[in-house]
Structure 1
């Protein structure tokens, strides 16, 4: 069992329905937001244990007054990700080195309207407490599947979707590329990015800078720029 702590994380786990929740543990302080979470847990027939603040602190430090013990995250089949929306905006995350950045990237994608995420088999969803907190619960609410990046590109192309990845060597600014149709965007880690073999198969786009700077943006910053450019274009 894994633990998630704090009202935002526990609320997201219960709302997302992507994990079995073994029990919710709550301290003596119960503001309205925690009472609402307890009501939702009761509706889902999740056990609720009431403990002292000291006992809750022993379970998880910095717990926000409520903790949930949860099972592994369930994933959709990859094809199902494409069928969730008539105009899919799917992201592939592969090689992000840090679980906090991983959670922040998913938080950005969720806020921008991304319809689903494809993950590498080795991903940070096992770091449940960190990614749930850093994503403000978005990791529990975002539809996800596991699929190697090369297979994800094949599937996107078979569906007629555009496939885009960022590269500072591209001559095409992301703002000048049409992102309004069915779309797969590839995001790599800060150290190695998207592999050359994959990058050679897709449309590379560049994030323009306001001054000369020889370094690439971090993963979260690059994800934010591209994801909200998709939103801008689709919002007309």
Structure 2
């Protein structure tokens, strides 16, 4: 698999602290000297090559992203089987997030960041017609990509059926449904977040046990997918934390 490039100070530090498949670190003179010294020391401990480059080279490596003077080349991000996610859960009921054809890497990165903060056990995405784990996702996640396992499946609906057989309750989002603030999210749960424009697909809606809605009083009756996901994930987090 092709290498990925993670860039920016926080995302790069997270990779250096947690990822053992680093191929090379690229530094430019625009990075603060004290930070560059820290990076070099970490790379030396990991026996990773550090290459000094100019800002133009970093612009090329990061497709003109906000690299802040550093980029890290790593092996492409690995996905894990759903079974692996579930077998590593100890002492609490599983909490999963299923993304139904999310296309924007910024949304996926933001959802990963929220999922890490709220203790989500794993995220499930489809192999096709959806964004995958990329350098943009890694950058937006500010390191959460290293901590939240992501499973990539061929068929979301088949995966939902398998989760139901394991005792999961599946929740989705819709304009018509229970007020999400009343959601009791205890037990083994998975919340489905739909596509940015189309929402949850018709076939997947048929699999959902309960629909949740986020009340809105404004003129625009929809929220960005990552914002909606954050509200729902934290409602589940608080429900599970406060109602034990």
Same fold (TM over 0.5): yes
* Residue in 1 that maps onto 2:207: 201
> Out of 4, 13, 16, which is 2:15 matched to?
13
* Residue in 2 that maps onto 1:142: 148
**Structure 1 position 58, deviation (Å):** 5.2
* Residue in 2 that maps onto 1:26: 27
Summarize the Cα distance change of 1:205–1:3 in structure 2 as closer, same or farther, 3 Å threshold: same
1:70 is the counterpart of 2:74: yes
- The 3-state SS of whatever aligns with 1:216 is coil
The residue correspondences of 1:163-174 to structure 2 (distance < 5 A) are 163-170=170-177, 172-174=178-180
1:152 is the counterpart of 2:159: yes
CA distance in 2, matches of 1:180, 1:95: 26
* Residue in 1 that maps onto 2:41: 39
Preserved contact between residue 176 and residue 213 of structure 2 (Cα < 8 Å): no
**Structure 1 position 179, deviation (Å):** 0.4
Summarize the Cα distance change of 1:218–1:204 in structure 2 as closer, same or farther, 3 Å threshold: farther
1:110 is the counterpart of 2:116: yes
**Structure 1 position 40, deviation (Å):** 3.1
CA distance in 1, matches of 2:4, 2:190: 31
Tell me the TM-score normalized by structure 1: 0.87
**Structure 1 position 56, deviation (Å):** 4.1
Preserved contact between residue 106 and residue 138 of structure 1 (Cα < 8 Å): yes
**Structure 1 position 223, deviation (Å):** 0.2
Unaligned runs of 5+ in 2: none
May I ask how many residue pairs the two structures share in their alignment?
233
**Structure 1 position 83, deviation (Å):** 2.1
* Residue in 1 that maps onto 2:95: 89
Summarize the Cα distance change of 1:30–1:107 in structure 2 as closer, same or farther, 3 Å threshold: same
> Out of 97, 101, 104, which is 2:107 matched to?
101
**Structure 1 position 30, deviation (Å):** 4.2
CA distance in 1, matches of 2:115, 2:192: 12
* Residue in 2 that maps onto 1:119: 125
**Structure 1 position 5, deviation (Å):** 1.2
Tell me the TM-score normalized by structure 2: 0.84
**Structure 1 position 184, deviation (Å):** 1.0
CA distance in 1, matches of 2:231, 2:136: 23
Runs of at least 4 residues off by over 6 Å: none
- Let me know the Cα RMSD of the aligned residues: 2.3
1:223 is the counterpart of 2:229: yes
CA distance in 2, matches of 1:158, 1:177: 22
Summarize the Cα distance change of 1:110–1:93 in structure 2 as closer, same or farther, 3 Å threshold: same
- The 3-state SS of whatever aligns with 1:108 is helix
Moved more, 71-80 or 47-56: 47-56
